[in-house]
Structure 1
Amino acid sequence: MKLQSLQGAGASERHAQFILDSYARLLGEPLLTVAPGEKSADALFESPIVVLSHGLENDPVLNYGNRAALELWEMDWNTFTRTPSRLTAEPMIRAERQQFLEAVAEKGYIDTYQGIRISSAGTRFRIHEAVVFNLTDDTGHYYGQAAAFAYYAYV
């Protein structure tokens, strides 16, 4: 199973379910509740919880951001999903960020992450209580990482 190339504003139903299933499998609780008859992709895209993911490239590129993520990073879908994940952090803390991502890859998830990020327009913000988690299928095959957080403050 490969992550699909995402087109348009929002993830495919398959990718959205992949994010939701990975989160629930690792943390033992749902990231969000999808109402009966609602599509997972719509629920995830419209969630007030910021959700983003990246793939497995040598320099991982963002492959998903919900509406809250797009607004926070001040990007449209096409720009966001072409951005290397490392560019969401300030240059001086990118090495620290890389060490953190490697720790998540080994442990599966971390649910207490905080750090300063930067939008495309240079707006700095600190995220709090972020869950950073591996994207895996039900057999444990690794496909990348995702993050979800509800708390942030501009700095």
Structure 2
Amino acid sequence: MPSLPPSDAGLDARLRLIVSSYRQLTGKPLIADAPADMTALRDAMWHVPRAIVAHGTEDDPIFFYGNRLALQLFEMSFEEFARLPSRLSAEPLAQEARVKLLEKVSLQGYVDGYSGMRIAKSGRRFMIADTTVWNLVDEQGNHQGQAAVFVAQG
């Protein structure tokens, strides 16, 4: 079972950005009754029954967050996941569809209802469904990455 990453001011700020960007773009809460207290928010995001992942703005974006369910699906520790280029979460054959999705998100702000195949560390494939992907935008309007929330099927 993956363990909650240690408290870190930079990661905590990014977690708040995930939650606030989702609400700003979709008009809905990512986590019902999201707590204001950072410790409680970190715990709520970690244990929510949907996978939450996020990557930054590097040339080859790297994941900086995956919650407990995401890490279980991808069969990685937090430390491993936080070094993974997000493109490697999809099969090579699914790369083109993933790129088109992220371009659409960049233009529209978010996309609902996406589904696609993903690949775990072991090579096991799994389908993600009912996926929302959104831009992470800070208070100054700067693009800080993208995040996704999804359920796995099969």
If the length of structure 2 is used for normalisation, what is the TM-score?
0.88
Supply the AA of the counterpart residue of 2:17.
F
CA-to-partner distance for each residue in 1:78-111, whole Å, 9 max, x for gaps? 1000000000000111122111111111110001
Shift of 1:138: 2.6
If the length of structure 1 is used for normalisation, what is the TM-score?
0.87
Matches within 5 A, 1:102-113: 102-113=103-114
Aligned residues: 147
Matches of 1:80 and 1:48 in 2, distance apart?
Answer: 19
Matches within 5 A, 1:74-153: 74-149=75-150, 151-153=151-153
Structure 1 residues 124 and 22 mapped into 2: Cα distance closer, same or farther (>3 Å)? same
Greater helix fraction, Structure 1 or Structure 2: 2
Shift of 1:121: 0.7
Find the residue that maps to 1:103 and give its secondary structure: helix
Task: Report the RMSD for the aligned CA atoms in angstroms.
Answer: 1.9
After alignment, is 21-30 or 32-41 more displaced?
A: 32-41
Shift of 1:34: 2.4
Structure 1 residue runs of 5 or longer lacking an equivalent are: 1-6
User: What residue is the counterpart of 1:26 in the other structure?
Assistant: 25
Percent identity over the alignment is 39
Shift of 1:13: 2.5
Structure 1 residues 82 and 63 mapped into 2: Cα distance closer, same or farther (>3 Å)? same
Structure 2 residue runs of 5 or longer lacking an equivalent are: none
Structure 1 residues 22 and 103 mapped into 2: Cα distance closer, same or farther (>3 Å)? same
Shift of 1:8: 3.6
Find the residue that maps to 1:82 and give its secondary structure: coil
Structure 1 residues 10 and 31 mapped into 2: Cα distance closer, same or farther (>3 Å)? farther
Structure 1 residues 36 and 133 mapped into 2: Cα distance closer, same or farther (>3 Å)? closer
Supply the AA of the counterpart residue of 1:124.
R
Write out the 4+ residue segments of structure 1 that deviate beyond 6 Å after TM superposition.
none
User: What residue is the counterpart of 1:16 in the other structure?
Assistant: 15
